[in-house]
Amino acid sequence: MGDPERPVQLDQLFNPTEDRSLRRFPEMFGRALKITWSAAPRQIVICSVLQILSGAGLAAQVLIAKRILTILLVVHARADLHAVLPDVIALAGVTAALQFATTAGTEVSRVLAGLVEQHAIGLVVDAATSADLIDYERASFHNGLQRAQLAATTRPVQMVNGLMAILGTVTGIVGIAAALIVIQPLIVLLLALGFLPVWLASRRASRALHRFTLRQTERDRQRNYLFLILTHRQMAAEIRAFSLVTFFRKRLDDLYRLRIVDLRRLARERLLVGVLGTAINALLTVATMVLLVWLVSSGRMQLASAGAAAGAIVLLAERMHGLGGSTGSMYENTLYMQDFTRFVDRLPELRRGKPSGPAPSGFATLRAIDLTFTYPSREKPSLRGVSIEIAHNEVVALVGENGSGKTTLAKLLAGLYPPSSGKIYWDQTDTSGADPDLLRRSVALIFQEFGQYYMTAGENIGLGDVSRIDDAARIVEAGRLAQADEFIAELPNGYDNMLGSEFFGGANLSLGQWQRIALARAFFRDAPFVILDEPTASLDPRAEATLFQNVRTLYQNRAVLLISHRFSSVRSADRIYVMDSGLVVENGTHEELMAADGLYADLFTLQASAYNPEGRST
């Protein structure tokens, strides 16, 4: 039985959370640290040490400069180079060390960023692939996935860089401030006040950018889809045949224009906020300089100390401004990190109810009882009280017009969708309590829209059972059974030849040849339950006839569910179920259904009349 609350839960999960308050900053900051440490602990230690040394070096520069000025202006007014040479050499050494630390830090950070991105993307992939197939029928899932993907691609990396920048900046600020406190503590207080408006402005600008990104998610996905239509090889022929380039390009441009309108509005808002914050910060810096001049002119500070303080003020003001920007950017990144953590962390909460019981490895009889199913995007059920039965070593056919529910039923029987109501039994085992991943290992399914993997021919077949993908002999045997071995043998590298022209050395196949590869993949899986959903749609008539004639031999000792819109191909099935508008309206052998003179007989006659215009064939 499906959970009626589950769609609501999923929409809440994948839609953006409204809790974007500052109080979540420590949580997200801690999460970024955890991701960073998990991905690259060695690099984070090296970067941290380099940043601390850089900060200490800045303080050393200020103090050495003060000593040099003191010697020149106070102690030895007429001192020559020898008096200050040791300090000059020390200053040069510290400066060189700082430059080395900066260069080394940049390169280590580059590696660190790559490792963090790999780790974060892996978490998104794990979460997405753990989702049920039905989740992919929800726009909220795709929106959440896109936001998580974008966040994982850039935000952890930016948080790493921001973390390093903040660490280095804070270390430098502490060092410079310590030197300034020795000279005049009041200067440090004024410069610290200048940090506040910069940070507040940066925080507000960050929130504005995140709101913009959330509003654009759906449009961004539409733009990505239109770009794919216009550039993907599989769509290229039809786009040109129907002269659709201009039509789709206009839609793409329209979406970009809407984005630019919002982007300009965002830029104006962020610019205004940034100018105000910077202006206030500049005024406080000027006030600090005025204070310094007053201290010197009133005799409260020596000229050497004032010179060192002036240099320190410039350094400290620059770093305080940078700290405001860095912490604001870090706050911005935490907003996006919430999209990442919401997808990665809370998805498993909805998976805790996932069945984990043992799964049967086969059956004598499969029974589906009173199955109903409704797609999240539709109000009308696609299946309504469907019951069928399939026995071991039996070929059962599903027929019906397009949209009758055949493929949907096949996906329920394969464990890809959970039924909204009803039960599926493998013998006496209710499959709703079995681990679906384990259950699907006993099912081989060929879809109408079969996969075309740009890998070698052998790997394409071996994907049917990756635990045996290195079994070359069985791969060749599966290719032979699917009648794919002849065209594979003609490829320059045979089963080791890449398929698909998108990569160097890849061979382009016809759609019928790709379908033979998919058939070989199903043979290689060697599962006790085989579902063939329009398995010959891309095959020529001779190949189709051969497959259907031999289906019982090819899949002996298995249960086979055969879905086809070609009624002449399924007449030899042990039992035929006829579907219409989500219902099973008839079932029986071909002869029984023809004698009943119902929907099956009408559809069979309609197809047969194209080949036998003089009368009805049975």
Amino acid at 58: L
Q: Is residue 115 part of a domain?
A: yes
Average pLDDT over residues 472-480: 93
- 282 and 157 within one domain: yes
Within a domain: 3:
no
- Low-confidence winner among 1-10, 286-295, 392-401, 512-521 (lowest mean pLDDT): 1-10
Whether residue 590 is predicted with pLDDT greater than 80 in this model: the reply is yes
User: 27 and 54 in one domain?
Assistant: yes
Please say if the pLDDT value at position 264 is more than 60.
Answer: yes
Which of 329, 351, 373 is where one domain is finished?
Answer: 351
* Stretch 564-572: mean pLDDT: 79
Pairing of strands 365-373, 421-426: antiparallel
Q: In the chain, what percentage of residues exceed pLDDT 70?
A: 75
Reported as a pLDDT band with limits 50, 70 and 90, residue 194 is low
* pLDDT confidence of residue 604: 87
**Which of 326, 351, 376 is a domain's end point?**
351
Domain boundary among 466, 495, 526: 526
- Which tokens belong to 578? 């006829």
Is 93 found in the same domain as 154? yes
Mean pLDDT, to the nearest integer, of 322-328?
Answer: 68
Please check whether residues 323 and 395 belong to one and the same domain. Answer: no
For residue 253, the SS3 value is: helix
Residues 547 and 618 placed together within one structural domain of the fold: yes
Number of H helices, E strands in the chain: 18, 10
Are residue 314 and residue 461 in the same domain, yes or no?
no
pLDDT over 60 (residue 20): no
Q: Which of 139, 126, 180, 101 is nearest to 14 (CA)?
A: 139
- For residues 150 and 254, membership in a common domain is answered with yes
Residue 1 lies in a domain: no
Sequence-separated (6 or more) residues with CB below 8 Å from residue 276: 197, 201
Q: Is residue 596 part of a domain?
A: yes
Residue 261 in any domain: the answer is yes
**Same-domain check for residues 188 and 253:** yes
* Top-ranked range on mean pLDDT: pick from 52-66, 173-187, 354-368: 354-368
Q: Which residue has the higher pLDDT, 218 or 324?
A: 218
Q: Are residues 173 and 32 in the same domain?
A: yes
Find the radius of gyration of the CA atoms of the chain: 35
DSSP H/E element including 535: none
For the segment 478-482, the average pLDDT, to the nearest whole number, is: 90
- The domain that holds 143 is classified in CATH as 1.20.1560.10
Domain extent, residue 375, equals 357-442+527-618
**Structure confidence by residue, pLDDT tens digits, 400-429:** 888 889 999 999 999 888 899 999 999 999
Give the range among 50-59, 72-81, 96-105 with minimum mean pLDDT.
72-81
In a domain, 302, yes or no: yes
Q: How far apart are CA 437 and CA 324, in angstroms?
A: 49
Q: What is the CATH number of the domain that holds 433?
A: 3.40.50.300
In the DSSP assignment, the letter for residue 394 is -
Same domain, residue pair 532 and 501? no
Residue 302, helix vs strand vs coil: coil
Domain assignment present for residue 447? The answer is no
Mean pLDDT taken over the chain: 79
pLDDT at residue 443 above 50?
yes
pLDDT at 201 over 90: no
Residues 117, 231 within the same domain: yes
Are 369 and 487 part of one and the same domain? no
Q: Which residue has the higher pLDDT, 485 or 7?
A: 485
Within 10 Å of residue 490's Cβ, how many Cβ atoms? 10
pLDDT, mean of residues 166-180: 68
Residue 2 inside a domain? The answer is no
Split into its structural domains, the chain has a count of: 3
